[in-house]
Amino acid sequence: GQQVMQIPQYQHVQEGEDFTTYCNSSTTLSNIQWYKQRPGGHPVFLIQLVKSGEVKKQKRLTFQFGEAKKNSSLHITATQTTDVGTYFCAYGGTSYGKLTFGQGTILTVHP
Amino acid sequence: NAGVTQTPKFRILKIGQSMTLQCTQDMNHNYMYWYRQDPGMGLKLIYYSVGAGITDKGEVPNGYNVSRSTTEDFPLRLELAAPSQTSVYFCASSRWGEGYTFGSGTRLTVV
């Protein structure tokens, strides 16, 4: 079956450093979504990527979908303490939109 | 708009007890989902629904039941609670192919 690995599991950075999390699949993905979950909170939708090679930006966040649609990344430039949380990738099948979530990357930002 | 509302926020159950986790959304989304999240883990799909009267099992349905009598409501029933069901439960809704809107979660402990 489809397997998606999200790496790294944990990342500690100093405020102002960059951060990247990766989502790697053994098979082609139809789409990929990214979510952020603050400590003690609920996941919040960030973005969806559907096209091969797609790149989208939201302020300091850059999202990429690989050319082969087997991997995706989320990059944060100049992290801030407000970026703390767990970042999940999630991928959907072709039917009914139900998502499978990656294990998540826990980001800690030291001031 | 309230979005997705989950009740209760916290609950302690004794082994063998039953309860219903309530979820309602006011966005007229056809798709609704129940996920559970264990500490430090990703989200696992329990049940989902593509519209009123239609439900289907996700990855971890054992010990749970759902119903979808209206577009707005998607309650999750736990029968004969077990310690393995200690978790945080998230309800979510979406339109097909779009990002999920999550509720704030129910933290359940079974003792």
Portion of chain B with pLDDT greater than 70, in percent:
99
Residue of A nearest to B104 (CA): A42
Using one digit for the tens of pLDDT, what is the confidence trace for B29-69? 999 999 999 987 889 999 999 999 999 999 999 999 999 99
Cβ distance B48 to A96 less than 8 Å, yes or no, reads yes
Cβ distance A43 to B97 less than 8 Å, yes or no, reads no
- The span from the CA of A31 to the CA of B64, in Å, is 29
Residue A70 reports pLDDT greater than 60:
yes
- φ and ψ at residue B83, rounded to 5 degrees: -55, -30
* Helices vs. strands in chain A: H and E counts, helices first: 0, 11
Residue of A nearest to B59 (CA): A100
Residue B98 reports pLDDT greater than 80:
yes
Mean pLDDT of the residues in chain A: 93
Which chain A residues touch B103 with a CB distance below 8 Å? 42
pLDDT band, residue A93 (cuts 50/70/90):
low
Tell me the mean pLDDT in the region A54-64.
Answer: 98
Residue of B nearest to A106 (CA): B40
pLDDT, residue B40, reads 77
Mutation target for B interface from A34, A51, A94, A96: give the one with most B CBs within 10 A.
A96
CA dihedral A37, A58, A64, B103 (to 10 degrees): 30
Residue A3 reports pLDDT greater than 80:
no
pLDDT, residue B21, reads 98
Cβ distance B42 to A104 less than 8 Å, yes or no, reads yes
Closest CA–CA distance from residue A3 to any residue of chain B (Å)? 14
**Nearest CB to B102 within list A43, A48, A92:** A43
pLDDT, residue A4, reads 85
Using one digit for the tens of pLDDT, what is the confidence trace for B73-86? 999 999 999 999 99
For tokens 């100049």, the residue is: A78
Using one digit for the tens of pLDDT, what is the confidence trace for A12-53? 999 999 999 999 998 899 899 999 999 999 999 999 999 999
Cβ distance B100 to A103 less than 8 Å, yes or no, reads no
Tell me the mean pLDDT in the region B16-33.
Answer: 97
**Residues A44 and A72: beta-carbon distance below 8 Å:** no
Check CB contact of B90 with chain A, cutoff 8 Å: yes
